[in-house]
Structure 1
Amino acid sequence: MLSAFLKAPGRMAALSALGFVLAAVTGGLWWQAQHQVVEVARTITGGDPSRAPDILRRYGCAGCHTIPGISGGDGKVGPSLAGLRHRVYIGGVSTNSPDNLVNWIVRPQSLSPNTAMPASGITEAEARDVAAYLYAH
């Protein structure tokens, strides 16, 4: 029955066109949702996620952490930073908020004196860019 339907003139072309439209709509909705996530991340952190990849590489963050979207970001010393926006705690000790994340990135020992995460020398402005990136990914 299905093969007879598909063999009718123009049906395959119509199904292909429908598939293309559905893919375009779905892709457009995904892009819109991702764009909104990035804008929220910018707003709540005051940072620019587009600057973060260079910052993350410069400070060697990928040497310890797995970081989505960062080439070579497959470190196994610290936790993966994938899905950070969905976590309850930063560093296992502080509530996940933009200010706490920035503070953790700049001064991790201020929140957990015995943490293995080093004070890297990153500035607060750079940390805001990194926080925006992590919340956006």
Structure 2
Amino acid sequence: MAAALLFAACIVFGITALQRSEQRQVAHAITGGDPSRAPELMIRYGCGGCHAIPGVPGATGRVAAPLTGLRERVYVGGVVRNSADNLVAWIVDPRSLSPRSAMPRTGITEAEARDVAAFLYTR
């Protein structure tokens, strides 16, 4: 019985790991970014001060929407169609897409925003 439970747990863990790997590959393909670099960037640019972001230490902000399930959303920032290019543009300069947005321009570069976008599409 214990062996069967251990075997089942290994299968579930293996499937979950495979799904995460596929999510990272897809996110990289559509954004051109590396999701593994994003947590450090999101800490450096203070994203977690406003947003709750799973996988980013200390990112427990409650000012803005939590950054989970982003790939399933129809809009980015509630104003533009959800696409990799729009998400990157939003991360770099949200007010260029929505002048009344409360989200500030942080100084993040486009290349860094691609990494963040890739990360967000894996969550």
In structure 2, which of residues 80, 88, 94 is the aligned counterpart of residue 102 of structure 1? Answer: 88
Instruction: Report Cα offsets for 1:62-111 as digits up to 9, x if no partner.
Output: 00100011111110111100111111100000011100000000010111
What RMSD over aligned residues (CA atoms) do the two structures have, in Å?
0.7
5 Å matches for 1:53-64? 53-64=39-50
Give the counterpart letter for 2:122 in structure 1. A
Match in the other structure for 1:92? 78
Q: Say whether 1:134 aligns with 2:88.
A: no
Q: Distance in 2 between matches of 1:23 and 1:59?
A: 38
Q: Say whether 1:31 aligns with 2:28.
A: no
* Identical counterparts, % of pairs: 56
Partner of 1:78: helix, strand, or coil? coil
TM-score, scaled to structure 2: 0.98
5 Å matches for 1:105-116? 105-116=91-102
Structure (1 or 2) with the larger CA radius of gyration: 1
**What is the deviation of 1:34?**
1.0
Q: Distance in 2 between matches of 1:100 and 1:124?
A: 11
**What is the deviation of 1:123?**
0.3
Which consecutive unaligned segments of at least 5 residues does structure 2 have?
none
Q: Distance in 2 between matches of 1:59 and 1:107?
A: 13
Aligned residues: 123
**What is the deviation of 1:47?**
0.2
Q: Say whether 1:73 aligns with 2:59.
A: yes
Structure 1 runs, 4 residues or longer, greater than 6 Å off: none
Partner of 1:92: helix, strand, or coil? coil
**What is the deviation of 1:126?**
0.3
Which consecutive unaligned segments of at least 5 residues does structure 1 have?
1-14
Match in the other structure for 1:42? 28
Partner of 1:136: helix, strand, or coil? coil
